[in-house]
Amino acid sequence: MTNSQLLQVAEEFGSPVYVYDSEKITSQYNRLTNAFNDVKHLKINYAVKALSNISILKLFNTLGSGIDTVSIQEVNLGLAAGFKPEQIIFTPNGVSLSEIEQAAQLGVQINIDNLSILEQFGTKHPNVPVCIRINPHVMAGGNANISVGHIDSKFGISIHQIPHLLRIVENTKMTINGIHMHTGSDILDIDVFLYASEILFETANQFKNLDFIDFGSGFKVPYKTGDIETNIEELGKKLSTKFNEFCKSYGKELTLAFEPGKFLVSEAGTFLTKVNAVKQTTSTVFAQVDSGFNHLIRPMFYGSHHDIINISNPKGRERFYTVVGYICETDTFGNNRRINEINENDVLAFKNAGAYCFSMASNYNSRYRPAEVLWHNKKAHLIRKRETFDDIIKNQVEVNFSNKKEKELVK
C-alpha cells in the first residue's frame, strides 16, 4: 500500500487502526506453494493465532488454505469462516482432555503433544485419527523466547520418549495418521531446519499408516531494509527432494503440511497511529502516539523491531526520536530512531504489523482496542469496528450497594 492510501484509511476510520493488504497475503501464500510445487500433495494450514479476524480467515479459505488452531474457540471461528472440519488441524498445548474431545466431536484433525493426554484419548477414542507433535530438540529460531523445539520447551513429545509413545499406541490400538514438529519462529539456518526434518522422518518410519507429515513453520520475514529472511525457495527445493525420497522409501505418497502464520500476514499489516505530542527532555525527543502496548506489545514483549515511518511527512529531514505510547507503563515502540521530522497530528506507520499484533491487543488502562481494515481490490473494507465504552463494561456485573448494610460496609 502507498502512503496516500494509508493516510486515506486513517482519515476515514480514525486512529489507531490496523490495515491489512490482501494482495500481499495472497502473494505470500502463492510464494510458499510455488516453492514446493515439486511435492505431489502439499497442505498449507494458516496459523489462526497470528491474526484471527474472520474476514482474514475467509480470504485464506478462498486461496485453498486450511487452518491451524490452538483453542476450541479458534476451531469454532474456523468453522464460522466456512472451513470444513477436515480443513482444520487442532494443535493445542496444555489444554484439558475434554477440550480435545470437543474438537474431535467436531471432526477436525487432532494433534497431541502430551503422553498422558495421548494415552487417555487413545484409550477412550482409539478409532479417532490423531497426529503426534514431536519435540526434535532442535533450536532453529534465533530468539529463545519464540523457539519451541529446544529441550526445555513445554511443546511436543521428546524424541527420547518415542519408546514410551510407541507402547501407548500399541496398548491402546489408537490410530496415528500424522507426525508433526514446530521448532519455533524466525528460522535463520535452513540446514538446521533440514536436520530437524531428518529427525521427523526417522520418527515417521515408526508408524506404518501415516497420511501426512507436518513440518510446522517459523519462516523468518524481513523487518527492515537488508534484514535476513528464510530463503523459502531454497528450503522448498531441498526439503521437497528429501520429502519425495522419504515417500518413495515409505511406500506411500504422503501430504507435506506447513502451518505458517507470520510468513503469510506479517508484512501485509500496517499499524497507523497519530502523534499526540512531541516532548523534548534533557536528552531525548519523544514522539508520543495515541496507542501503547495495549495495541502493539511485540516490541516490549519480544524485543521485536517494527520500522516506523512518518507517512505525513515522508520527505522531511530526519531526526532522532524515541516513539512511545500513552499507557502508564514504559511502552517504547522504538528507541532513538531516525524518522522524518515529526509534528503533532502526524500519522506514523508501524510496519510488519500483521502477525501477533492485534491478536495480542488488550484493554489495559481501559483503552479501546482499535479498528481493523482490509485493503482489498484497491478499496478499504472495515473488518472490525473500533471498540466503545459499552464494550469495556458489557461483561462486567455491578454489585448493588443500595442496601443500607452494604453501604455501611463500603464506608
Q: State the catalytic residues.
A: 328
The cell numbers describing 371, all together, are 479498528
H/E element holding 264?
Answer: helix 262-265
Rounded to whole angstroms, the Cα distance separating 285 from 48 reads 38
Residue 260: name the closest of 19, 95, 33, 71 by CA. 33
Please compute Rg for the chain using Cα positions. Answer: 24
Query: In sequence order, what E strands does 123-169 have?
Result: 130-135, 157-158
As a whole number of Å, the end-to-end CA separation of the chain is 57
**342-351 exposure pattern, b = at least 16 Cβ within 10 A, e = fewer:** beeebbbbbb
The cell numbers describing 200, all together, are 521427523
Q: What is the largest CA-CA distance in the chain?
A: 80
Rounded to whole angstroms, the Cα distance separating 59 from 186 reads 25
The cell numbers describing 127, all together, are 478409532
Q: What sign does the dihedral 236-240-243-245 (CA atoms) show?
A: negative
